[in-house]
């Protein structure tokens, strides 16, 4: 059978637009003589639709769109993900052919951890679904179903399917795609069935979906792999006989208990004849880690800006490495003509910082404007002079500078209809080394889940990849500084990042306590100091902009700690 996997970039809530993307993919799959076309999980509604699912009408509108699409499917069959309302809400897959919906499968495993809240919205299905298409037995699965060896995969194996068709909206984080591919290949081999996995692609708020759809044969060999972070229609052929021969040679499935309600539905309709010549399947090469993270960040920026209707972005350029990386990512995502850089020197800003910001803007080909803030800060201080009388200068005056910059950036955002990109990284956000309503100002924070160590790693990789200084080497080599007081360095307030980042990773991402971290060789006083800073900064992070999930445990939906919290990790 010839398959087409439509790796689409959908928009949550845009039922009409998503249906249009599906219709275009169906037409392209028809031209390729595909007998079965797969679409991502909840392709009609977009994923995750969250509290839109609390409205029964929303699901009914999605069902109507599925039926309208089905009317146009007159050759071959398709599996389309949609939210189904039937006295309750289900995460469902419609099998459409011959102009109508002929079968519906309801997802059985509903993830409710990390960024997932599916048990909040959906009821679980309770039955497997096997359909017969042109003599091939096809088992249907949806995303989380396939991550477990039983009961979904084992039920389908026991039913003797030739192909498992899994539609998915599997969110990306660094390194996940390789682990997911290993799991899918194992499921195919264990089930003695080919497996087609069609994944969503694109950005949705803080989530990015990487695609990397694939087809594995009945031995677990990956025979087709779509590229990451690209919207594509991947066509591949599946040999039914390979699955049949493997089940006869290694009849492990005979020992599996057969599901009492494993029903087989014969799909009616006109199917394309078997192509005379096999298709040359795509087998995209997985990117190196730096390229994967870069493309994930670029995808997240591009889709957040585009899907929310912003004309471009505004970025405060300090001459430092975080704003430089943010600007470089934005240019790759949007183009230089949609990125505005803003230099806002204060009395403490060095000439080097201004020169580095100008060099960056020239290297990226973006507009740069300069808005000196000395007079603005002086005006703030004059207004507050009476209230501050008798108090020594401290971090308060430093924060006034950051807040002056934040106000100017938001003014430009309002006037130009452009989104402010905050430039803070995960290391700073973790320990609260940031100013509320100052450098935390913005509508989106691309580096929110990127440690300072990875900031340097990405900058060096980008320059090497380009064969030139996209990000000025002087910026990369310069010791980090906020320049809010004379001769200030980040290390005045924080441990060096090479010491800080492993502690943050251990505490935030691995849930290690102080004793665990000290046992790993970290200095005990430093560990306890950093952990206190992380806990105390929770209220700041709640008020910051959303950012792109890159690690397995990002702040926000992944890590949900109470702000008011009296527990101190021992």
Among 62, 84, 89, 107, the active-site one is 107
Specify the DSSP element, H or E, that contains 21. Answer: helix 15-31
Question: Is 6 in contact with 39 (CB distance < 8 Å)?
Answer: yes
Name residue, tokens 């309208």: 68
**Cα 173–chain centre separation:** 6
The Cα 126–Cα 152 span in angstroms is 10
Dihedral-angle region of residue 87 (phi above 0 means left; psi in -120 to 50 means alpha; beta otherwise): left
Other C-beta atoms within 10 Å of 156: how many? 32
143 annotated active-site: yes
Specify the DSSP element, H or E, that contains 566. Answer: none
Q: Tokens in use for 441? A: 């100002």
Peptide bond into 151 cis (omega under 30): yes
User: Would you list the DSSP string of 423-482?
Assistant: ---HHHHHHT-S-TTTTT-SSBBTTTT--HHHHHHHHHHHHHHHTS-SS-HHHHHSPP--
Name residue, tokens 């040679």: 249
The Cα 86–Cα 102 span in angstroms is 16
198 annotated active-site: no
The Cα 403–Cα 409 span in angstroms is 10
The Cα 292–Cα 281 span in angstroms is 22
CA-closest candidate to residue 24, choices 37, 11, 41, 35: 37
Q: Tokens in use for 163? A: 């192909």
Radius of gyration of the chain (CA): 27
Question: What SS3 state is found at 248?
Answer: helix
Q: What is the 3-state secondary structure (H, E, C) of 79-129?
A: EEEEEEECCCEEEEEEEEECCEEEEEEECCCCCCCCCCCHHHHCCCCCCCE
Peptide bond into 48 cis (omega under 30): yes
CA-closest candidate to residue 405, choices 483, 312, 459: 483
Among 62, 89, 118, 143, the active-site one is 143
What is the strand order of the sheet 367-370 is part of?
Answer: 367-370, 339-343, 313-316, 419-420
Among 41, 292, 398, 483, the active-site one is 41
What residues are labeled active site?
41, 107, 143
């Amino acid at each position: 059978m010839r398959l087409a996997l439509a790796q689409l970039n959908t928009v949550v809530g845009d039922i009409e637009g998503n249906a249009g993307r599906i219709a275009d993919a169906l037409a392209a799959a028809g031209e390729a003589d595909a007998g079965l076309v797969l679409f991502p999980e909840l392709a009609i509604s977009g994923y995750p639709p969250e509290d839109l699912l609390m409205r029964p009408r929303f699901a009914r509108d999605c069902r109507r769109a599925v039926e309208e699409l089905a009317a146009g499917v007159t050759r071959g069959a398709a599996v389309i993900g949609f939210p189904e309302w039937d006295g309750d809400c289900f995460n469902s897959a419609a099998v459409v052919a011959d102009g109508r919906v002929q079968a519906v499968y309801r997802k059985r495993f509903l993830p409710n951890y990390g960024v997932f809240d599916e048990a909040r919205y959906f009821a679980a299905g309770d039955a497997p679904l096997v359909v017969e298409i042109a003599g091939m037995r096809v088992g249907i699965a949806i995303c989380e179903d396939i991550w477990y060896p039983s009961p979904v995969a084992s039920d389908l194996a026991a039913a003797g399917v030739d192909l498992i068709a899994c539609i998915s909206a599997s969110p990306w984080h660094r390194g996940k795609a390789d682990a997911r591919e290993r799991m899918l290949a194992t499921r195919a081999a264990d089930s003695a069935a080919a497996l087609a996995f069609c994944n969503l692609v694109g950005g949705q708020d803080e989530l990015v979906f990487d695609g990397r759809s694939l087809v594995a044969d009945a031995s677990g060999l990956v025979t087709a792999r779509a590229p990451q972070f690209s919207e594509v229609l991947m066509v591949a052929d599946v040999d039914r006989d390979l699955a049949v021969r493997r089940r006869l040679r290694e009849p492990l499935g005979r020992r599996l208990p057969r599901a009492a309600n494993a029903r087989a539905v014969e799909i009616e309709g006109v199917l394309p004849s078997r192509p005379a010549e096999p298709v040359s399947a795509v087998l995209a090469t997985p990117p190196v880690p730096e390229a994967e993270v870069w493309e994930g960040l670029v995808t997240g920026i591009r889709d957040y800006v585009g899907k929310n209707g912003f004309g471009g972005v505004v970025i405060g350029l300090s001459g430092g490495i975080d704003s430089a990386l943010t600007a470089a990512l934005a240019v790759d995502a949007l183009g230089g003509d949609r990125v505005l850089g803003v230099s806002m020197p204060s009395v403490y800003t060095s000439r080097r910082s201004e020169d580095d910001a100008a060099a960056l803007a020239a290297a990226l080909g973006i507009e740069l404007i300069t808005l000196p803030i000395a007079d603005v800060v002086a005006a703030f201080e004059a207004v507050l002079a009476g209230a501050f009388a008798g108090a020594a200068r401290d971090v308060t005056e430093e924060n006034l500078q950051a807040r002056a910059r934040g106000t100017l950036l938001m003014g430009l955002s309002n006037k130009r209809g452009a989104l402010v990109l905050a430039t803070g990284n995960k290391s700073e956000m973790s320990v609260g080394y940031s100013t509320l309503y100052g450098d935390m100002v913005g509508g989106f924070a691309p580096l929110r889940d990127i440690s300072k160590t990875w900031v340097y790693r990405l900058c060096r990789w980008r320059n090497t990849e380009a064969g030139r200084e996209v990000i000025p080497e002087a910026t990369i080599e310069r010791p980090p500084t906020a320049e809010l007081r004379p001769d200030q360095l980040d290390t005045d307030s924080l441990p060096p990042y090479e010491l800080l980042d492993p502690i943050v990773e251990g505490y935030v991402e691995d849930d290690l306590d102080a004793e665990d971290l000290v046992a790993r060789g970290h200095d005990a006083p430093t560990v306890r100091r950093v952990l206190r800073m992380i806990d105390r900064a929770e209220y700041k992070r709640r008020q910051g902009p959303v950012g792109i999930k890159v690690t397995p445990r990002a702040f926000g939906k992944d890590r949900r700690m109470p702000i008011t919290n009296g527990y101190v990790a021992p």
